Amino acid sequence: MGIFNPFSENKRLKSENDELKESLNKYKDIIDINSEVDKRKADIGILINKISALEKEYKERDFALNTEYVKRKTVYDNLQQEISLLESNLEDISYGLYKPQYNYKTSEEYKQRLEKIIDEQKRAIKNYKATYCPSEWKVGGSKNEGRKMIKDYSKLMLRAFNGECDAVIAKVSWNNIGTMEARIKKSHEAVNKLGAHLQITITDYYSDLKLQELRLDFELQEKLHQEKEEQRKIREQMREEEKAQKEAEKARKEAEEEESKSERALQKANEEMERAKGEELEQLKGKIKLLEENLKKAHELKERAISRAQLTKSGHVYIISNIGSFGEAVYKIGMTRRLEPMDRVNELGDASVPFDFDVHGLIYSENAPELENNLHRKLESKRVNWVNLRSEFFNTTIDEIDSIVKELNLNIQLTKIAEAREYRETASLKKARCEAFQATEKESKGDVRFPDVLI
């Protein structure tokens, strides 16, 4: 067992202490990093908590904003709808085609029904069926004053609603009938909101009567328009018949004059033949033969003119086209009572269209209106204009028309090729001028291409 040496022990402890310090210095950075990591983790935790709080706040704000947006959007949409109802523009027809509710044959029937509806409205107001209030109010403790208040307010609401309905009915037309129906319904809702605090409402029964008035008034205007068009067609037919009668009368007079002239010339030639001899006699015989033929023709023309004047429905049905004006596969099928049907065709091509019509067929009939109607009926689904039935244009082919003509046992051969002379010559001139212009530009500016248009 050794002897304890304090000096040696102190030296040992000092050496261990130095080693410990050296170890601490050696691992100092690692210890600092761990401390920093712990510190950063603590900071990150704080940030995560802040982010969570912000996300929660953002979600709450986003929900509030979405709720506010939906609320504002609903208000905006309602206002936009009300504005569109007030404007009722042609460009925004969103209610589709109107389906007639009434199908009366004459405007007079519509007027009678409209008067009945207005009478029903008056009775509804008189019998207190136009407005309704379930509550019995008191004013100053008086029921009579309460009833008077309800009566006066009901009148005010009816006046507002009727005024809006009258304005709507005055503006209704083919392109806004759906919008106007919606305006009456919207007005009904709006006026009832004004009376909500007193529990007064305009009844659905009275509102429906106003909608009926709107529809009847609209359909009445449409029927008046149809009748006006029908009357115009009748007047046009009357003018055509009057013109045909004048032509027939003129032709009859001319034929009678020609007949009389031929008779006098023939009588004179017969008298001269009695005195003539030899070669002169032979010449007179030839002249008499020619005069007899002329007299026969004049007589036939006179009879034809008289017959045409007597047959009020006789005339020609024409089938014509105009490629330059209406394009391919569009044909007009009309009727004329003129002695010379081409006069009518030429009239149609004079000013109303840029090019002449091509005639595919002229069909004579002792009942031309009936024949025209038969052809129109066969091609009903091929009409170009489905609203104005006076328009006699059909989107079809000449082969289809030819098959219908044969089906009706009409003895006529249709011309299937459209000459369209003016249109084709115009197209050729345009092309030549375009080519000449392009050639000139090419020489002056180099190889530059221009669109094929007429400059």
Give the other-Cβ count within 10 Å of 159's Cβ.
Answer: 11
Q: 262-295 pLDDT, tens per residue?
A: 777 777 777 777 776 667 766 777 777 787 787 7
Largest CA distance in the chain: 203
Contacts of the segment 161-165: beta carbons below 8 A, 24+ positions apart? 161/187, 161/188, 161/191, 161/202, 161/207, 161/210, 162/210, 164/191, 165/210, 165/213, 165/214
Residues 154-167, mean pLDDT to the nearest whole number = 95
Of the candidates 377, 407, 370, the one whose C-alpha atom is nearest the C-alpha of residue 394 is 377
Alpha carbon distance 401, 412 (integer Å): 12
- The whole-angstrom separation of Cα 145 and Cα 197 is 17
How does pLDDT run across 17-56, given as a tens digit for each residue?
777 667 666 655 555 666 767 777 777 878 788 888 888 8
How are strands ordered across the β-sheet holding 330-336? 358-365, 315-321, 330-336, 393-395
Reported in sequence order, the residue ranges of 134-274 that DSSP labels E, i.e. its strands, are 201-202
Q: Residue 87: which pLDDT band, with cuts at 50, 70 and 90?
A: low
Percent of the chain with pLDDT over 90: 34
Given a contact cutoff of 8 angstroms between Cβ atoms, the answer to whether 152 and 247 are in contact is no
Closest CA to 130 of 149, 165, 158, 168: 158
* Token code pair at residue 94: 């969103």
Contact residues for 326 (Cβ-Cβ < 8 A; gap 6+) = 393
